[in-house]
Structure 1
Amino acid sequence: MIAHRGYAKAFPENTLLSLDAAVNAGARLVEFDVQLTADGIPVVLHDDTLLRTAGHGGSIFEIESVNIEHICVNEAARFGPRFPEARLSTLENIVLWLKELPAVTAFVEIKIQSLQRFGIQKTVSQVLRVLEPVKVQCVPISFEPQVIAIARKEGMNTTGWVLPTWDLVTAFKLNPEYIFCNRTRIPSGWRNFTEYPWNWVIYEVTEIKEALEYAALGVGFIETMAIGEMLQHPLFRASDQRQ
């Protein structure tokens, strides 16, 4: 079970609160998204704007990193005033958190908007530079195929491609260790997951029954925002001990 943007069903997504809650719920695999600020500093954010998470307009590409400390990304439209402490975090802060959790693996999605804005090489290099202290715990992933080649060239042994469409021809050419696929993109009746050399990760799954069906078909990983609820099932429950 991979915690999609942390425990995003119950906490503001892509925040330290959400990621920490996922680990406290038993997750040992987490996923979060990275964009770059105007001055090229990686921050943990899904959208390139702050409207959905912070409730106000503006692009992260227009904000210098020195000005992000007080940006509240508490998803007030979803949670109301419950999480005033949910701040936009730099990737560096999340790396410090990961250093204290050696048993946790992080899938780090480098978002397409930043790749387009700053260039693929620069964006990937910036992200990997920050991840260096916890490199062995991290798997860079992206919708952009070139990210995989660049990450490998820069020393990342494990990578993942997020399928933008059902394109297994490109998947074979890239041959990443993980293929992430939205459940809605899987062809109807598809049952051939075991025939491929990579690890399948199917998202967004929030029902135990569906997760078990995918497991029976050979899918190794499920990504979910409802990590706390999913880990209540005895087949999916991780160690109760935070390491």
Structure 2
Amino acid sequence: MQVENFVAHRGWRQHYPENTLIAFEKAIQAGTVNIELDVQLSADHIPYVFHDANLMRMCQREGFIWDYPAAELDTFFATESYRLGNAFPDNPMCRLSDIVALLQTNPAVNAYVEIKEESLTQFGEQIVVDAVINTLRPVASRSILISFELSALRLALHEGWQRFGAVFDVWPDPQSAALVELQPEVLFCDRNCAPIDLHLSTLPWPILIYEVGSKTEAEDWFSRGAVAVETFLIGELLKDFALNTGK
């Protein structure tokens, strides 16, 4: 296996608040060359790296991320205290532009950027897709748009974006017209939805399996033809495979 076969899901989430700059920085320091992140929009259409629409789990704040403008969100702390206690009391929320800067200073790293359904529903596809791709343009060659919502990806394709993946929690039709049009580099598939009797290398698209939590499980998926695995334990898995060659 190579380090390219592993993706840091929301950064090094096992030890740091997910989808925040410190989680991605530590994942890169551990040796990852692939990070995965989620995007939601603020009230004024600024893209933030955030999984939930609701702010409570990460920030212990009432309401939704789109209830607040960016200037106010920048005063919130993404501590994920329900899981991590008081370990990161002053940890800021992360803008997508912060990830652009991170990629610019780490030219070997690629980002899988997931456009979330909640913001697409709240604002409409055009506003969300434009906000995301306009922010990512300086690092477009290393930014792969992914989503459960293939229509949003198709809109980005029609606006000239070139790199795509797709995300599924049920087994997809690999011959679907949307996938054929997108020509995705990889399909992110939930580990619970892949048919047990199917060798993944026989499919027309490379398959990445999420969420993988151990070396044994990763080895099993690789033996079944997965091209990569996504994990919250990026540092641990890279170490287990003797790939932790980071700083």
**TM-score of the alignment, normalized to the shorter chain, above 0.5:** yes
Q: For 1:170 and 1:35, locate their aligned partners in 2 and report how far apart those are by CA, in whole Å.
A: 29
Q: For 1:193 and 1:121, locate their aligned partners in 2 and report how far apart those are by CA, in whole Å.
A: 34
Within 5 Å, which residues of 2 pair with 1:208-219? 208-219=215-226
Q: For 1:191 and 1:125, locate their aligned partners in 2 and report how far apart those are by CA, in whole Å.
A: 38
Distance change in 2, residues 1:29/1:61 (3 Å): same
Q: Is the contact made by 1:151 and 1:159 (CA closer than 8 Å) also made in structure 2?
A: no
Q: For 2:110 and 2:15, locate their aligned partners in 1 and report how far apart those are by CA, in whole Å.
A: 21
The counterpart of 1:226, out of the listed 208, 233, 236, is: 233
CA positional deviation for 1:169:
4.8
The aligned residue for residue 85 of structure 2 is 80
The aligned residue for residue 208 of structure 2 is 201
Q: For 2:221 and 2:176, locate their aligned partners in 1 and report how far apart those are by CA, in whole Å.
A: 20
Q: For 2:199 and 2:110, locate their aligned partners in 1 and report how far apart those are by CA, in whole Å.
A: 27
CA positional deviation for 1:69:
1.4
The aligned residue for residue 66 of structure 2 is 61
CA positional deviation for 1:179:
0.5
Q: Is the contact made by 2:174 and 2:204 (CA closer than 8 Å) also made in structure 1?
A: no
AA of the residue aligned to 1:229: E
Question: How big is each residue's C-alpha offset from its partner over 1:22-60, in whole Å with a ceiling of 9 and x where there is no partner?
Answer: 001110000000000011110010000111111222111
Question: How big is each residue's C-alpha offset from its partner over 1:167-224, in whole Å with a ceiling of 9 and x where there is no partner?
Answer: 225656413221011111223x232211122221100001111100111111101000
Q: For 2:174 and 2:227, locate their aligned partners in 1 and report how far apart those are by CA, in whole Å.
A: 21
The counterpart of 2:152, out of the listed 147, 151, 157, is: 147
After TM superposition, which residue ranges in structure 1, 4 or more long, deviate above 4 angstroms? 169-172
The aligned residue for residue 33 of structure 2 is 28
Q: For 1:76 and 1:52, locate their aligned partners in 2 and report how far apart those are by CA, in whole Å.
A: 8
The aligned residue for residue 180 of structure 1 is 188
AA of the residue aligned to 1:165: V
Within 5 Å, which residues of 2 pair with 1:119-134? 119-134=124-139
AA of the residue aligned to 2:213: T
> TM-score, structure 1 length as denominator?
0.94
> TM-score, structure 2 length as denominator?
0.92
- Which structure 1 residue ranges, 5 or more long, are not aligned? none
Percent of pairs with identical residues: 36
The aligned residue for residue 4 of structure 1 is 9
Distance change in 2, residues 1:144/1:198 (3 Å): same
3-state secondary structure, aligned to 2:189? strand
The aligned residue for residue 99 of structure 1 is 104
The counterpart of 1:115, out of the listed 104, 115, 120, is: 120
Q: Is the contact made by 1:201 and 1:221 (CA closer than 8 Å) also made in structure 2?
A: yes
AA of the residue aligned to 2:159: E
- Which structure 2 residue ranges, 5 or more long, are not aligned? 1-5
**RMSD between superposed Cα atoms in Å:** 1.5
Question: How big is each residue's C-alpha offset from its partner over 1:56-99, in whole Å with a ceiling of 9 and x where there is no partner?
Answer: 22111110111111211111111111112321111112211111
The aligned residue for residue 136 of structure 1 is 141
CA positional deviation for 1:151:
2.0
